[in-house]
């Protein structure tokens, strides 16, 4: 699934274009606890989260994740957006809540594991 497809499925907006807009993304993880992401993520490409602070980008960066989806219409400040842009990570905001966003992407074929 390409980033453009995620954006479309989630009625999202792209806040920062990453380096991998054309890459096929296969798996995702959803969490509001960054330590859980650091503990359990293997090679998931997408991070879906209700958090909205720079540590979301740092965590994704540490895990080599390519795309972050901010749920519930969160509007990140410029620091977060700049950090994502700088790291080449795609940042998407969606009005959907966590459960719905996950369900929509899962149904469309994004998996929990690679």
Partner 1 sequence: MENLHFEYEVAGNNFSQAGMASDAVKSTLKKMGIASEDIRRVAIAMYEGEINMVIHGGGGVAVIDIFFDHIEIKLIDHGKGIENIELAMTPGYSTAEDEIRALGFGAGMGLPNMKKYADVLEIESEVGVGTTVYIRVDFH
Rounded-to-integer distance, Cα 114 and Cα 110, Å: 9
Rounded-to-integer distance, Cα 74 and Cα 45, Å: 20
Q: Quick one: which of 20, 54, 74, 95 contacts partner 1 (CB under 8 A)?
A: 54
Rounded-to-integer distance, Cα 55 and Cα 35, Å: 11
- The minimum distance between CB 83 and partner 1, in angstroms, equals 9
Q: Quick one: which of 35, 107, 109, 114 contacts partner 1 (CB under 8 A)?
A: 35
C-beta of residue 76 within 8 angstroms of C-beta of residue 51: no
Binding-site residue total for partner 1 (CB under 8 A)?
20
Judged by the rule CB under 8 A, the positions of this chain that interact with partner 1 are 32-36, 38-39, 49, 51, 53-56, 58-59, 61-64, 79
């Amino acid at each position: 699934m390409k980033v453009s497809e995620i954006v479309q499925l989630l009625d999202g907006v792209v806040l920062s274009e990453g380096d991998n807009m054309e890459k096929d993304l296969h798996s995702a993880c959803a969490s509001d606890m960054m330590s859980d992401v650091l503990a359990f993520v293997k090679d998931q490409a997408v991070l879906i989260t209700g958090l909205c602070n720079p540590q979301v980008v740092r965590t994704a960066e540490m895990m080599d994740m390519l795309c972050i989806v901010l749920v519930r219409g969160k509007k990140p400040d410029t620091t977060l957006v700049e950090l994502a842009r700088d790291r080449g990570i795609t940042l998407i905001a969606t009005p959907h809540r966590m459960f719905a966003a996950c369900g929509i992407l899962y149904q469309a074929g994004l998996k929990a594991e690679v």
